Amino acid sequence: MTGAVGALAALALAAASPGAPAPPAAGDGGAAPLRPWTRGDTPPLAGADLAGRPVSLEALRGRVVLVAFWASWCEPCEAELEELARLRAALAARPFALVTVNFGEGPARVEQFLAAHRLELPVVLDRDQRVAKAWGVGGVPMAFLVDAGGQVRASAFGERDWRAGEPGAALERLLGEAERAARAPRGERRAEAGRPPARSQP
């Protein structure tokens, strides 16, 4: 019952937010398709993790960043976070970073949830939901792919496997861009960093 309530709450949050992505339709595997980012510049995201260490997108330039919003009461978020933990471990040797943002809860509740599920993930607290509002989050789980230059390229609503299918292909494409840019001579690297992203391909 608790899980069903959490899932319904996540969908209600999405339905109540203007401009939010539609919840995944039944029969589509539980995940809506990736959506290309069309809102311009990347919204700000800076704060501290549960240990008090600073977290900012600016400090993660040069890496592909997956920014994932979640809440402990959201049943699909549990499976999503477990998948993200596996993804983070699998990409440890590549230019990738994961930042999770908790939606509206306090540190004690977040720490309790992570301990109960044996998860070790970087978490930024968004207690007043200002970060979620700036990013246009209308439901959870919701994630955003940010390229190595710091530009959001796509968003995704709903639980998914980030190592397969469309999400895996989009992530691999951005990782390839980051790795090629890192190998390029300095002048070419600066030119690449100043080049606008291709909006048609998240």
C-alpha to C-alpha distance for 57 and 51, rounded to whole angstroms: 18
pLDDT number for residue 200 = 42
Give every CB contact of residue 121 below 8 A, 6+ residues apart in sequence. 81, 84, 85, 88, 98, 100, 114
- pTM here is 0.80
C-alpha to C-alpha distance for 22 and 198, rounded to whole angstroms: 24
Q: Which fold has domain 2-20+34-193?
A: Glutaredoxin (3.40.30)
Query: Structure tokens of 9?
Result: 């709450």
pLDDT number for residue 185 = 79
pLDDT number for residue 47 = 85
Nearest to 179 by CA among 65, 89, 96: 96
pLDDT along the chain (202 residues), means of 10: 43 41 41 88 91 90 97 94 96 97 95 95 93 94 96 94 92 96 71 49 47
pLDDT number for residue 33 = 87
pLDDT number for residue 46 = 86
